[in-house]
Chains A and B, each alone.
Chain A
Amino acid sequence: MASETAREDQRPGASKERLDREFSDLYRAHLRDVYSYAYYRVGNHHDAEDLTEQTFLQAYRHFERAQRESDGRPLRPWLIRIAHNLAANFYRDRSRRPESPLEDASIVSAPHTTEGLVEGREELGRIIECVSKLPDDRREALIMRFSLGMDNREIARALGRSDGATKVLIHRAIKQLEATMKTEGT
């Protein structure tokens, strides 16, 4: 049985099939992460869809190398880094930033219960508005932490920073956000 598997792996194209299978798993596992990141980053569904699509196409092209170099570590930070770079290009090429924080702030409440949605909608909308006013790196770190649930190490890898610098970045982002909310709330 083992020798059959070995023979199977040696057949021409088998490694490509395995690679495609593994990429398909990665795609299924992280489509929501990439889309959420893209949505909070660009602020509208249309551009978020384009960004998500481009991220996975780019990832597919470099998947083999990424797998080889990841040394068994999770590939989510790598995917988010691709989305991050594409989003940066997107703004640079079109010289624009999202005019409004989000085209439809109610979407953020989609996974919530109806009561929660009604109760906290205004406050959550205000948070999103304040998040959108943060400097890019702080905003991105908060999206990765609170939308995608990434830990410091993953965020550090996605942003190309050290773990320590990432911890400080998140701490400062939260502090600035709290301060902004207090200022705007008064």
Chain B
Amino acid sequence: MSARPEFEGLLERALAPVEPPPALCDRVERRLTGLTEMAAEELDAWELAAMRDPRNWVRPAAAVAVGTAAGAALVLVRARQRQRARRRGAGAWDELLTRAGGSAREFAADARKLLRRPGDSR
């Protein structure tokens, strides 16, 4: 029988886990609770300050502006594509009229969507 497991058993006994003193548990828990509360207060304060401070509006405003510009460009691209298609096709008048009507309606719908502000349910 090998002496190794016996030696490892001795090592296990020598290095037995040490119970933390109760005072330490209280101390760490107090510090952690303090940190948690502080973090929650900071978060609340930051959220309120972020809403009040116009500097924090720059990014959302820029995002909205970029999104609107991209959306407007997309509407124009779609309209031009349809125009080109109509010119190429130059088929029957009624088909052209249907398409023109359709594209005008879609253009208006797209524009309405873009102008509608976030949170506006209309």
Contacts and interface: CB of A to CB of B under 8 A. Distances in A.
B20 A31 contact: yes
A30 to B, nearest CB: 11
A147 B21 contact: no
Contacts of B39: 16
A20 to B, nearest CB: 5
B21 A45 contact: yes
Q: Determine chain A's interface SS by DSSP, over half rule.
A: helix
A57 B21 contact: no
Contacts of B16: 108-112, 147
Given A40-B15, A127-B14, A52 B20 contact: yes
Interface residues of A, number: 44
Interface in B1-60: 4, 7-8, 10-21, 24-25, 27-29, 31-32, 35-36, 39-40, 43, 47
Contact of A120 (B13, B27, B35): B13
A52 B24 contact: yes
Contact of A116 (B11, B13, B15, B32): B13
A124 B13 contact: yes
Contacts of B25: 31
Interface in A52-92: 52-53, 56-57, 60
A87 to B, nearest CB: 15
Interface string A41-56: 0000100110011001
Contacts of B29: 27
Nearest to A143: B15
A120 B17 contact: no
Contacts of A60: 32, 35
Most A CB within 10 A of own CB, among B13, B14, B19, B29: B14
A107 B21 CA distance: 12
A146 B11 contact: yes
Given A27-B32, A57-B32, A174 B7 contact: yes
A142 interface: yes
Interface of A: 12-13, 16, 20, 23-24, 27, 31-33, 35-36, 39-40, 45, 48-49, 52-53, 56-57, 60, 107-112, 116, 120, 123-125, 127-128, 131, 142-143, 146-148, 174, 177-178
18 contacts: A13-B40, A32-B19, A35-B18, A35-B19, A35-B24, A48-B18, A49-B20, A56-B28, A107-B18, A112-B16, A124-B13, A124-B14, A125-B14, A128-B15, A131-B15, A143-B15, A146-B12, A146-B14
Per CB-CB distance, the 5 closest pairs between chain A and chain B, nearest first, are A35-B20, A127-B14, A147-B15, A124-B14, A146-B15
